[in-house]
Structure 1
Amino acid sequence: MKLIPSFLIAASAAVSLFGCSNQANTTDNSDITAAQETTTLRFSYYWPATSNMSKEVFEPWAEKIAKESNGRLKVELYPSALLSKPDVTYDATAKGTVDIGSQAHGFTNGRFPLTQIAELPGLSSSATQMGCMLQKLYEEGAIASEYEDSHVLFMYGAGPGSLHATNELIRTPEDIRGMRIRHPSAVAGNLIESMGASPVGLPVNDVYTSLQRGVIDGLSLPWGAIDTFKIGEIVKYHTNIPFYSSAALVTMNKSSYDKLPDDLKQVIDSNSGMALTKKAGGILDKEDKEALQNAKNLGHEVIEVPDPLNDPAWSGPLKKGTQKYLSDVNALGLDANGVYEKAKVASAACKN
């Protein structure tokens, strides 16, 4: 029998030992790296960084996502439309230019015709009710077809919009005739046009400079946004009339969501839906009350038209504008009347 020198046996054993050890370590390190890998999600929205929506909704939401994912998900915030313009944020999210986006539906007129039925007068009296109504309509499938190209996280809504002017108080529709009024959506545009004014479509981020330059004479906007976007520095005349409400949402790119492992999808899912809708609504309702009081404290002129659909001066134009919008959506081959009836039911269910 041929004897193998002892030094060869030792060398062979060492190679075998260290070879196995390196292979095991490579596998372990790979597993650890996979477990600790961070996915960064870029979140674009039009609200300023100083706004309550950013500070009290979006920032805590991003922190909660990071905490519940043990740091494996990081949400980078891009306020003030830094990463995508306000009117293309939804499409930018759907296409993957950004991972998460928040946009007011009215910034892209004609893109969400069924959803914007919820903006019609008489359906909501608060941001909380508006958001709840939108989320219900989405969850129950009445408007879900408009979001098949993205992964909706939650709907939310603003409080009722009022009329604000730079040079004169609007007491009746006669006073608004011939004025150039910024509107946030097709719904508000129809209503403003029915009053005899010229509706001008502008993202809210552009309103301040447009007022300064005299491009518009006034605007329609919820009270809270008057303070958020510093518009109260220019407009001093306010008609507190709830003649429309604005819809908005937070949505996620489908691919960005689908490629997440199941446990991280669960983190996103558990931080979506009605709870976020109501949180946003509560914050926006508080803003509206404070901003209205601020205007009064500053000596701005404010008049109240609390129930315009039953006000002799206002009901005619508002009902005319409502019917025009529903007719326009029906003409697209969509069931506007059916969604309008469902919106009424959701409105009643969501009433505070």
Structure 2
Amino acid sequence: MKNLKRVVLAAALLVVAPASAETLKLAHFVAPTHTLTEAIVTPLTEGIAPSGLVIETYPAGKLGAGPADQYVRVVQGVADIVWGLPGYTSSQFPLAMLTELPGAQPDGMTGADFLWNGYDAGLLEREFPRTEPLALWTAEPAVLILRDHEVREPQDLRGLKIRVSSSITGEIVQALGAIPVQMAATDVYNAMQTGLVDGVITGSSAISDFRFDEVLSHVTLGIPLGNQSFYVVANAARVGSLPDSEREALRAASGRELSRHAEAAWNAKGESAIAALRERDQGIVTELTPDEMSAFEAILLPLTQEKVAELGAEEAFATMRGGQ
């Protein structure tokens, strides 16, 4: 009789026990303390948990070093999900990188909405082959971080070596008379420390995320330098292979809302980083006056229209801007 009860109990457990949960490998190239964790990794992992789907995170290049190779890793199946920057492979993402043009985003519009407007309209699909975007968003407005110079006028930049992360930012730097140097964010600290570069254009959140506060002397706010774009994408075939309930859970936990959450986290980190610099020394942060900003705008804002026209992207640009 006892054996019969064991058999019945075991049969009951087989009926109610969930099928073995799928596990997705998420790879990125920064430390677990980076803003990415609170912005994307944690909410995405928690959002899918009720379905049984699991995400295992591999930070700091554990599935392969080199930020520029992130997209290749997910397409080849080395990782199921990756975080990356369109700017590292600029030629693949002409529309996703429109956010980096000076003044591209209308006042009050998030970069997440700018990018998802384009994706939902079918404009960005060809830029993300064999993947499914889970999040598309931008960093806070880019700032100019300097090793040992103070910049208030365009001529202050002439001849300086400025690290950039994309071809568009490189064109901005050249328009200002400086010399663009492209490298991964993870290499900038040493480059600033040794004087290989004089400065970097990036979001202010990078000041704390990459410890640039240890190697800078000035930060200039107010130059229209655009907003760096980001993506989190999953291997499309891997998503398609998931059980229906897990695939639906992944899609429900991602998309425009997750992207807005990520952008808010980036903005908060950037504001905190600037506040910390001001607390340390008010002289570190240079905030341009309206007249000083106008001198930069006169050079950079025409660049946006020229680039959009060069790409033949007038209609796409208007759609991403919400018809503006």
Query: In the alignment, which of 99, 119, 122 is matched to residue 141 of structure 1?
Result: 122
Q: 1:46 aligns with which of 3, 6, 29?
A: 29
| Equivalent position of 1:4 in the other structure | none
* TM-score for both structures, normalised by structure 2: 0.88
Q: Are 2:268 and 1:286 aligned? A: yes
Counterpart residue type for residue 74 of structure 1: V
Bigger shift: 315-324 or 233-242? Answer: 315-324
Of residues 246, 250, 265, the one that matches 1:264 is 246
Deviations 1:127-174 (A, max 9, x none): 971122112221122222211321111211101101011111011111
Q: 1: CA distance between counterparts of 2:284 and 2:245?
A: 54
1:79 maps onto 2:62 in alignment: no
Tell me, in whole angstroms, the C-alpha distance in 1 between the residues paired with 2:313 and 2:109.
Answer: 23
Q: Cα–Cα, structure 1 residues 159 and 63, in superposed 2: closer, same or farther, change >3 Å?
A: same
CA contact (8 A) 1:127 1:160 kept: no
CA distance in 2, matches of 1:199, 1:57: 30
SS at match of 2:42: helix
In structure 2, C-alpha distance between the alignment counterparts of 1:254 and 1:156, rounded to whole Å: 20
Q: Distance in 1 between matches of 2:119 and 2:187?
A: 30
CA distance in 2, matches of 1:188, 1:216: 15
Read off the aligned partner of 1:136 and give its amino acid letter. N
Where does residue 43 of structure 2 map in the other structure? 60
Q: Is the 8 A contact 1:237 1:301 kept in 2?
A: yes
Q: 1:27 to 1:325 in 2, by over 3 A?
A: farther
What is the aligned partner in structure 2 of residue 317 from structure 1? 299
The gaps in structure 2 that reach 5 residues or longer are 1-6
Aligned-pair CA distance for 1:89: 0.7
- Give 1:276 deviation, angstroms: 0.3
Larger radius of gyration: 1
In structure 2, give the amino acid aligned to 1:227: S
**TM-score if structure 1 supplies the norm length?**
0.81
The separation in 2 between residues aligned to 1:185 and 1:50, in whole angstroms, is 24
| Higher RCO (CA 8 Å, separation ≥ 6 residues) | 2
Contact persistence 1:57–1:280 (CA under 8 A): yes
Contact 1:125 1:160 in 2 (8 A): no
1:177 to 151, 158, 162: 158
Structure 1 gaps of 5+ residues are 1-21
Q: What is the count of residue pairs matched by the alignment?
A: 316
Identity of aligned pairs, percent? 25
Provide, for residues 178-234 of structure 1, a one-character-per-residue CA deviation record: whole Å limited to 9, x for no partner: 111011222211111110111111111111111122211100011111111101110
Structure 1 pair 127–185 and aligned structure 2 pair: CA distance change class (3 A): farther
AA at the equivalent of 2:44:
W
Q: Distance in 1 between matches of 2:192 and 2:35?
A: 23
> Structure 1 residues 183, 208: CA separation in 2 closer, same or farther (over 3 Å shift)?
same
Aligned residue number for residue 96 of structure 1: 77
CA RMSD of aligned residues (A): 2.8
1:344 shift after superposition: 2.7
Say if 1:177 and 1:105 are closer, same or farther in 2 by CA, change over 3 A. Answer: same
Counterpart Cα distance in 2 of 1:307 and 1:123: 19
Please say if residues 127 and 282 of structure 1, whose CA atoms lie closer than 8 Å, have aligned partners that are also in contact: no
The separation in 1 between residues aligned to 2:290 and 2:69, in whole angstroms, is: 34
Within-5 A mapping of 1:210-249:
210-241=191-222, 242-249=224-231
